[in-house]
Structure 1
Amino acid sequence: MILVVGGTGRLGRALVPLLVDAGHPVRVMARGSSQPFPDTAGDGVELLRGDLASEADCREAVSGCNAVVFAASGFGIKDSDPRTVDRDGAIRLVRAAAAAGVEHLVMMSMHGAAPDGPIDFLRCKAAAEESVRTSGMEWTIIRIGSLLEQRLETMTAPLESKGKVLVFGSGSAPVTFTSVRDAAALVVRALTDPALRNRVLEWGSLTLTANELAEALLSRAGHGSVQRIPVAAERVLSVAAKPFSPFLARVARAGILEETGAAGFEWEPSRAEFPDIPVTGLQQVLEAAVQGR
């Protein structure tokens, strides 16, 4: 049995079918608040409504599992906090997994994760990484870039209503994005290939600027223009929004970090190690988004 924590999220929804198709029994753990929780599970999938803040829920979730994928995150959810999900929740789940005799844990992390990272989210991810490294279990840490599908969704949110594509900052800094499809494919490989155990993998799909993404979106839509949130406004929001919208404040801080170019990284060396995993391009993601409507 493989436990997928955050199985109703963007990555989890891509990963679970791949695991089922490969013949693995899967248990999905999620709160069911930020994303709809299915009424019923498909063949080979067990649903467990649980909260990472609960030690009892974590123990129940890992019971009987030989592998765990931690794919939950509180960064992009308005009613969540990365400290309670990506740090404390992750550590709580890792400890429960180790106590239950889980053999292997795949931790989804983020490029730039470090104890002294420039934003709190990266420091939370570093703490989660350290917990799994010292857990006694075998582990794989997959550091991804910003999820491409999520960024495109954010940018196009005001397109239909206002005819605008949203760009934070100058939009000229290179950002490495990871497609959900590519991230899910590597997780499956990590769960089945012993050579990927006790390794940290940096995993990207393409490096583009936000301006290049906006140009592609506007070209496909055939109308609209760019609505830009200046860097100065991001700096104000990163402080002023914190009391009433921690979500908006952390998005602004992440935007300021991207402006420095720190969100871009060399993903080609890691991809060269896995030539059989196709690189998902921008046009493929855009076409899939249209088909999914």
Structure 2
Amino acid sequence: MDETPGAGRAPLACLVTGATGYIGGRLVPDLLDAGHRVRCLARSPERLRDHPWADRVEIVRGDVTDEAGTTAALRGIDVAYYLVHSLNGGARFEESDRRAARTFAQAAHAAGVRRIVYLGGLVPADKPARELSPHLRSRAEVGEIFLRSPVPSTVLRAAVVIGSGSASFEMLRYLTERLPVMVTPSWVGTRVQPISVRDVLGYLVASARMPAETNRSFDIGGPDILTYEEMMRRYAEVAGLPPRLILRVPMLTPRLSSLWIGLVTPVPRALARPLAESLRHEVVCKEHDIALHVPDGPGHPLGFEESLRLALQRVREANVATRWSNASLPGAPSDPLPTDPSWAGGSLYTDHRSRDTAAGPPELWRIIEGIGGENGWYSAPLAWAVRGWLDRLAGGAGIRRGRRDAARLRVGDSLDFWRVEEIEPGRLLRLRAEMRLPGLAWLEMYADPRPRSGGSCYRQRALFHPRGFLGHLYWWSVSPFHAVVFGGMARNITRAAERLADQPEPEPEPAETSAPPEGGGAGLP
């Protein structure tokens, strides 16, 4: 389903609305890779500045409800992607969606746009609109507005999108990981046809070159039709969690379900309610006509379990710390983005410590780089030793591996029961835990200069990505000891750096002298 750049076809000018959202932020680089020119319309352009493609696109400030501004943004555009929704827009979100879609369609026609591409929701074919949830009803109405407009439109209709950051996937993730035993509403028995975010993006990119006469909707989905309960069970299996016990309770209404989801997960209730209401309806593709225009490539569309593995891959590769620590840039559509909501990407517990010190960054860095092994961990040595013994009993590496070099570290070095994952010499040391844990853990240590006041600032952060209920239980069971272990560590590292800075400079050794060669001084005849 991927377009090949430079395949003999002229690039298209594409406008992407919703580039700060889940799908839009992932679509832009795919359009660029396909050779297209991209303009983004955003109410808050500053939210796009951290993307790696920000300097390759034109970004204009605007709102799809402003016809004049939208018409100006659409001028010179061939294909307009409409990826905005008022999912949590309050009681009048249907009217907001309706008004915005009509404004956008009129502006696209006035600007001479050749095609509108819209990603909507899969709706049951046998249900009248009045019986649909407000969320699904609004999605369907927006699609109809575009199809009735003078601009040829492609309306893609998808159910649950599988990828880190997708609201429906995050709800699945949190419910499954946090609850080994679940009392669930009856909608967990509803059939759903999920689709990988990679396939969604492939269809969106290819839709830019639909034949001019095509003006219709297409159902898109993966090859598997599952109930929400089956998806939770398969998620547990792929994520390596124990089997989940699921008990259905029919009296849980969508409102009660959204309250329950809000209690158990960090997904906002304003999002949880429309999602829970939509899950009352069976959403299964009635056709696969998209393949007439976008032939399925080898292995596509992806199956549910493969989609899950890709969505969880970044976590399994132990790069989660990068995602949360510096908003690193993703390598695949299923990876997290800097603009994803704070509740996306799974749970991450953190312990932050920072201390100013009179020691300079070089002295502080020498202490940081020398940590572990014979130098120890600068706090609660008995606690570290006990943790090492317990790890050995559990079949782990323990704390006896020590260091390769007493003074220098490099990426990949083992360091007691840690592994060096990243080094920025003089500034950052990131360690990944290799002890037996119900999750993934990192320890970061920074030496930041303080040019105005002199000295430096030591920053320390412990991160833990729990796996399942036991992971959450583990964090909360050890967190009372963090003040002693991690607080003492920050305090003692800065003190050691200050002692090092106070040491007098060693006296230079006298330079060796040698007698001049016979016949005179050096260099003289």
Q: Which amino acid aligns with 1:203?
A: I
CA contact (8 A) 1:109 1:142 kept: yes
Residue deviations 1:221-243 (CA, integer Å, cap 9, x gap): 333535667442224538999xx
CA contact (8 A) 2:190 2:228 kept: yes
Q: Which amino acid aligns with 1:68?
A: A
Paired position in structure 2 for 1:287: 309
Find 2:256's aligned residue among 233, 237, 240: 237
Q: Which amino acid aligns with 1:220?
A: V
CA contact (8 A) 1:67 1:102 kept: yes
Task: After TM superposition, give the deviation of residue 49 of structure 1 in Å.
Answer: 3.7
Task: After TM superposition, give the deviation of residue 158 of structure 1 in Å.
Answer: 4.9
Paired position in structure 1 for 2:279: 255
Residue deviations 1:79-118 (CA, integer Å, cap 9, x gap): 7964255422222211111111111111222222875452
Counterpart-to-counterpart distance in 2, 1:80 and 1:48: 29
CA contact (8 A) 2:176 2:235 kept: no
Counterpart-to-counterpart distance in 1, 2:308 and 2:213: 30
Residue pairs, 1:1-293, within 5 angstroms: 1-32=13-44, 36-39=47-50, 41-75=53-87, 77=88, 82-83=93-94, 86-112=97-123, 115-116=129-130, 118-149=132-163, 150=166, 151-158=168-175, 168-194=185-211, 197-205=214-222, 206-223=224-241, 225=244, 230-237=249-256, 247-257=271-281, 262-268=282-288, 270-271=290-291, 274-277=294-297, 278-293=300-315
Answer 1 or 2: higher relative contact order, Cα 8 Å, separation at least 6. Answer: 1
Larger radius of gyration: 2
* 3-state SS in 2 of match to 1:182: helix
Counterpart-to-counterpart distance in 2, 1:164 and 1:240: 18
CA contact (8 A) 2:18 2:84 kept: yes
Task: After TM superposition, give the deviation of residue 216 of structure 1 in Å.
Answer: 1.6
Counterpart-to-counterpart distance in 1, 2:176 and 2:129: 38
Provide closer, same or farther for how the CA distance between residues 275 and 104 of structure 1 changes in structure 2, counting only shifts above 3 A. Answer: closer
Count residues with an aligned counterpart. 285
Q: CA RMSD in A?
A: 3.5
Provide closer, same or farther for how the CA distance between residues 50 and 157 of structure 1 changes in structure 2, counting only shifts above 3 A. Answer: farther
Moved more, 145-154 or 178-187: 145-154
Counterpart-to-counterpart distance in 1, 2:248 and 2:65: 35
| Identity %, equivalent residues | 26
Structure 1 stretches lacking a partner, 5+ long = none
Task: After TM superposition, give the deviation of residue 23 of structure 1 in Å.
Answer: 0.9
Moved more, 198-207 or 117-126: 117-126
- The structure with the greater share of residues assigned to helix is 1
CA contact (8 A) 1:234 1:255 kept: no
Provide closer, same or farther for how the CA distance between residues 74 and 63 of structure 1 changes in structure 2, counting only shifts above 3 A. Answer: same
Task: After TM superposition, give the deviation of residue 20 of structure 1 in Å.
Answer: 0.4
